[in-house]
Chain A
Amino acid sequence: MTLSITVNQRERQVDAGPNKPLLWILREDLGLRGTKFGCGVGQCGACTVLLDGKAVRSCQTLLSDAAGHSVTTIEHVATLPAGKRLVDAWIDIDVPQCGYCQAGQIMSATGLLSATPQPDDGAIEAAMKGNICRCSTYLRIRRAIRQAAGLEKAGAAA
């Protein structure tokens, strides 16, 4: 069965079961492997993408739910104004350690700043607590979001 979804502003035809999660559609059918598999049950946030601009867990989003909607993944996040500011801050502060969760972190943060350009710490925690970082880069994630939101000055490293 072929379904149509818009991914990173391109309409894509996907021939897969309607119950296949968007995560595996992205990774296996569309070759977009920046979106990561962590838990498969919406617990870790590694698979976060934007669906019509809102952060969702792609492992819990079926192909049939995504069909007809617009999906943005990490590969395209820098084309969004908030995404670009976040990516710049992520690099400036050097947020990642192993890096595996970071696509999901950036996508959740992009969802947050797109809706709430200047979030307070409570709003940052509420938006980000669904994203696990096993390396515990949380202090820098917080700082990068605040920097991207213009709430904190840039860091200093080569």
Chain B
Amino acid sequence: MMDEIASVSRRGFLTVSLVAGAALTFDARLAFAADRSGQSQPALNAFVRINADNSVTIGAKNPEIGQGIKTMLPMLIAEELDVDWEQVRIEQTLADAKVYGPQSAGGSRSTPVNWLPMRQVGAAARQMLVSAAARQWKVDPAVLTTSGGRVFDKAKGRSISYSALVHVAATLPPPDLASVPLKPDDAFRIIGTSRRGVDTPAITRGEPLFGIDVDLPGMVHAALEICPVFQGTLASLDDSAVRAIPGVIAVIPINCGILPKGKNDAVAIVANSWWVANMARRKLKVTWDTAGNEANSTAGYATAAAAALDGRKPQSDLVRAGDIDAGLAGAAKRVSARYSYPFLAHATLEPQNCTALYTDGKLEMWAPAQAPAGGRKAVADMLSLPPEALTIHMMKIGGGFGRRLISDYMVQVAQIARALPGRPVKMLFDRPDDTRHDYYRPAGWHELTAGLDSNGAIVAISDHFVTFGVDGKPIRAAEMEPTEFPSQVVPNVHYGTTFLETNMPTGWLRAPTNNAMAFVFQSFLDEVAEAAGLDLPEMMRRTLGPARQLPQIGRNPVFDTGRARAVTDAVCDFAGWKGRPKAAPNGTGRGFGVYFSHSGYFAEVVDLHVEGKTIHIDKVWVIGDVGAHVINPLNAEHQVQGAVIEGLAQSLIGQKITLDGGKIVQQNFFDFPLLRMNVAPPEIAVRFLKSDNSPTGLGEPALPPVIPAIANAVYAATGQRLRDLPFTLA
């Protein structure tokens, strides 16, 4: 276990015990790349253990949600440590940012944040082992080489295993991680090679890896009855019938957490079986105070959004450049359209769950959490505990997609566990709970207008974005960047925002904001391109202009127009793009979309055909640029294919969350459908362009462009513009 390996000295040094009794001390102030908040986080890490049999145990520090990070981060360490992948065993570390640095699965940030630090950890360990060999053999370390977990002295024809060196290595001063030499790219033997997921064999054996599988001696089970109307509170509770059910242990009112305190109440039923606890909900007599929240409905939001767009005046400016009124008035052609998209649930297949044990002021948690540090803080705040009182085990996660960046389940089970000291409690949502108590991708409405000059160039663009916010500021995941393309390359621009209020909790869904903005802007630009007599790739080439770096606000440091153009050209080659069809629509169509998000550039082409009112996807071509290295190509292709199919799911099968009376209408997969195999296309062809940039993440950026590519292909196939998600054909 990594918690046995790692301990941090009070001087802030890192201790790695290599074998029993031996310890290496790294001066491990890792120069972690700036995270999303812009803060550079000095981190102290413990990742490497050389075992007596010369196998190597490597700690995987980030939550595994299916993105493959539990395999990929150890690949970086193993590369620089110079061991064979077959020697490597991987263990999930504890959640402890003080030891391991930032540990989250979000924003496709794990690759860029960890690319250098994880390699430095491996290189530092290797350097200490080489120094130990040099000392033992009394030679200059510069003459020594490493491979396969051994140090070689080729001049003398001798070698020694890492495991035989650890006792000497432990006595040597640790190298400075920031300056430890790293391999040149052309020496990589693991980075850039296909490696299977470390947990794949265990999954096929049905091993209990996930949060829902946690089982502890004396564990009890909790089900929640949550106020169905968001922000409601408990008015009355009669639990006498529930307490009379055999197996029921306790009934505990709690707060759902995360959302404002004093709202969003729930009642936990604890039993010796989750099945018993969940069935017992039927006997619970509970009333809720929902006053002030019942008037919320998605139908009402749509009406309010339409009224706002009809009024034509955004409440606030997002970006204003040039003179939008003059630009549009002087345009040779104008194009205007409204677009919309719905609220979405995450619908992770593993329902939300968490396990906790409260003993003597300390809380041990087994959490399938994408952002365990956030969960630690939320739990500590809710229970008024010091954050150090929590020990958090990161469990394998049955789907994240952003849902588990919010740690409500941790806060909920922590309250239950504190009421039952000494007893481990596993809390689990039933599927309707999971559907109805998510943190939803917010809906949005746009009215766009573009002006073209007589050469077909875009000279003006405006967008009125109706979204959700409070006090003139967007709520979580409801924002839009002022740099949304093409605002930086068009002379006259106005993007403005109108905010609606909602009682719905909102959150990040895979490629947050971008999954909607790509649809809106790339679909609209296809309309603009058509008005200019162009196809969208050509309109993008002209609008992107010469290769240059544009400053970005938000998650991305810069937007490189040359990289966007390169993926555009490459996917047109890949798919054999032949431009906008000249013949009348015949039910078969091809569409294009390109988008930059999460530091990745993706261009995609979709071929589809329409039968009646059903859209069938025939093939998708993808070109991605995520930098100079695709660390694990086997997984990279798979992430892209999964992201593309998720885009299909948001487009084609009626996914939409609606609110009525302040509560969610949908409850399960029959009314919030997930895409099934029969809708998945036969082929998604994926290629990467290698560019001279540090590698970036792949969980998200392949998703956004496929949605407009579908919309644009349907237009080519039918002449119908699809401007509202989910798509329905007239």
> Between A and B, how many residue pairs show CB distances below 8 Å?
177
How far is B684's CA from A137's CA once the two chains are assembled, in angstroms?
12
Contact across chains for B199 and A99 when beta carbons are under 8 A apart: yes
Contact across chains for B205 and A139 when beta carbons are under 8 A apart: no
List which B621-667 residues lie within 8 A (CB) of chain A: 634-635, 638-639, 641-642, 644-646, 649
Contact across chains for A158 and B66 when beta carbons are under 8 A apart: no
How far is B641's CA from A140's CA once the two chains are assembled, in angstroms?
10
Chain B residues whose CB sits within 8 angstroms of the CB of A74 once the complex forms: 204-206
B209 interface contact, C-beta 8 A = yes
Contact across chains for A157 and B194 when beta carbons are under 8 A apart: yes
Contact with B along A15-36 (1 / 0, CB 8 A): 0000011001000100111111
A12 interface contact, C-beta 8 A = no
Considering the complex, give the chain A residue whose CB is closest to the CB of B671.
Answer: A43
Contact across chains for B195 and A158 when beta carbons are under 8 A apart: yes
List which B588-627 residues lie within 8 A (CB) of chain A: none
How far is B205's CA from A106's CA once the two chains are assembled, in angstroms?
10
Chain B residues whose CB sits within 8 angstroms of the CB of A33 once the complex forms: 206, 208, 212-213, 215
> Min CB distance, A117 to chain B, in Å?
20
Select one of B64, B194, B274, B347 contacting A134, CB under 8 A: B347
Chain B residues whose CB sits within 8 angstroms of the CB of A28 once the complex forms: 273-275
Contact across chains for B212 and A128 when beta carbons are under 8 A apart: no
List which A85-123 residues lie within 8 A (CB) of chain B: 87, 90-91, 94-103, 106
A82 interface contact, C-beta 8 A = no
Known contacts: A98-B349, A142-B677. The answer to whether A103 contacts B275 by CB under 8 A is no
B396 interface contact, C-beta 8 A = yes
B239 interface contact, C-beta 8 A = no
Considering the complex, give the chain B residue whose CB is closest to the CB of A21.
Answer: B275
Select one of B208, B275, B399, B644 contacting A24, CB under 8 A: B275
B188 interface contact, C-beta 8 A = no
Considering the complex, give the chain A residue whose CB is closest to the CB of B401.
Answer: A134
Select one of A37, A39, A106 contacting B204, CB under 8 A: A106
Select one of B195, B212, B680 contacting A138, CB under 8 A: B680
Known contacts: A74-B206, A91-B201, A132-B674. The answer to whether A39 contacts B669 by CB under 8 A is yes
Chain A residues whose CB sits within 8 angstroms of the CB of B215 once the complex forms: 31, 33
Contact across chains for B670 and A41 when beta carbons are under 8 A apart: yes
B405 interface contact, C-beta 8 A = no
Secondary structure of the A contact surface, majority rule: loop
List which B663-718 residues lie within 8 A (CB) of chain A: 668-670, 674-678, 680, 683-684
List which B64-82 residues lie within 8 A (CB) of chain A: 64-68
> Which of the four size classes fits the interface of chain A?
35 or more
Point out which of B68, B649, B675, B677 has the most chain A C-beta atoms below 10 A from its C-beta.
B677
B200 interface contact, C-beta 8 A = yes
B397 interface contact, C-beta 8 A = yes
A40 interface contact, C-beta 8 A = yes
Select one of A38, A90, A135 contacting B200, CB under 8 A: A90
Chain A residues whose CB sits within 8 angstroms of the CB of B193 once the complex forms: 158
B203 interface contact, C-beta 8 A = yes
Select one of A24, A73, A77, A100 contacting B349, CB under 8 A: A100
Contact with B along A137-158 (1 / 0, CB 8 A): 1111110000000000000111
Contact across chains for B678 and A41 when beta carbons are under 8 A apart: no
Chain B residues whose CB sits within 8 angstroms of the CB of A46 once the complex forms: 349
> Min CB distance, A99 to chain B, in Å?
4
A125 interface contact, C-beta 8 A = yes
How far is B667's CA from A41's CA once the two chains are assembled, in angstroms?
11
Contact across chains for B675 and A136 when beta carbons are under 8 A apart: yes
Point out which of B68, B396, B675, B678 has the most chain A C-beta atoms below 10 A from its C-beta.
B678
Contact across chains for A135 and B431 when beta carbons are under 8 A apart: no
Contact across chains for A131 and B677 when beta carbons are under 8 A apart: yes
Contact across chains for B649 and A136 when beta carbons are under 8 A apart: yes
Considering the complex, give the chain A residue whose CB is closest to the CB of B221.
Answer: A28
Contact across chains for B203 and A96 when beta carbons are under 8 A apart: yes
Contact across chains for B273 and A138 when beta carbons are under 8 A apart: no
> Min CB distance, A73 to chain B, in Å?
7
Contact across chains for B203 and A38 when beta carbons are under 8 A apart: no
Known contacts: A137-B638, A158-B194. The answer to whether A35 contacts B206 by CB under 8 A is yes
> Min CB distance, A78 to chain B, in Å?
7
How far is B204's CA from A78's CA once the two chains are assembled, in angstroms?
9
Contact with A along B207-237 (1 / 0, CB 8 A): 1111011010000000000000000000000
Chain B residues whose CB sits within 8 angstroms of the CB of A128 once the complex forms: 677
Contact across chains for A98 and B206 when beta carbons are under 8 A apart: no
How far is B68's CA from A133's CA once the two chains are assembled, in angstroms?
16
> Min CB distance, B259 to chain A, in Å?
25
B85 interface contact, C-beta 8 A = yes
Contact across chains for A37 and B194 when beta carbons are under 8 A apart: no
Point out which of A98, A157, A158 has the most chain B C-beta atoms below 10 A from its C-beta.
A98
Chain A residues whose CB sits within 8 angstroms of the CB of B481 once the complex forms: none
Contact with B along A36-59 (1 / 0, CB 8 A): 111111011010000000000000
Contact across chains for B212 and A36 when beta carbons are under 8 A apart: yes
How far is B638's CA from A22's CA once the two chains are assembled, in angstroms?
33
How far is B281's CA from A40's CA once the two chains are assembled, in angstroms?
15
Select one of B205, B209, B275, B430 contacting A78, CB under 8 A: B205
A11 interface contact, C-beta 8 A = no
Contact across chains for A99 and B200 when beta carbons are under 8 A apart: yes
How far is B635's CA from A134's CA once the two chains are assembled, in angstroms?
16
Chain A residues whose CB sits within 8 angstroms of the CB of B194 once the complex forms: 156-158
Contact across chains for B680 and A99 when beta carbons are under 8 A apart: no
> Min CB distance, A102 to chain B, in Å?
5
How far is B646's CA from A141's CA once the two chains are assembled, in angstroms?
16
B398 interface contact, C-beta 8 A = yes
A69 interface contact, C-beta 8 A = no
Considering the complex, give the chain A residue whose CB is closest to the CB of B85.
Answer: A158
Considering the complex, give the chain A residue whose CB is closest to the CB of B348.
Answer: A134
Select one of A20, A37, A102, A138 contacting B677, CB under 8 A: A138
Contact across chains for B275 and A134 when beta carbons are under 8 A apart: no
Contact across chains for B670 and A135 when beta carbons are under 8 A apart: no
Known contacts: A75-B206, A138-B680. The answer to whether A100 contacts B350 by CB under 8 A is yes
> Min CB distance, A1 to chain B, in Å?
13
B197 interface contact, C-beta 8 A = yes
Q: Give me 14 A-to-B residue pairs in the complex whose CB atoms sit less than 8 angstroms apart, sorted by A's number.
A: A34-B207, A37-B212, A39-B668, A41-B669, A43-B669, A74-B204, A97-B67, A99-B200, A100-B348, A101-B398, A125-B678, A130-B676, A132-B675, A133-B677
Q: Which 9 A-B pairs have the closest CB atoms?
A: A34-B206, A98-B66, A100-B398, A74-B206, A136-B645, A97-B66, A138-B680, A43-B669, A99-B203
Residues of A within 8 A of B (CB): 20-21, 24, 28, 31-41, 43-44, 46, 73-75, 77-78, 87, 90-91, 94-103, 106, 124-125, 128-142, 156-158
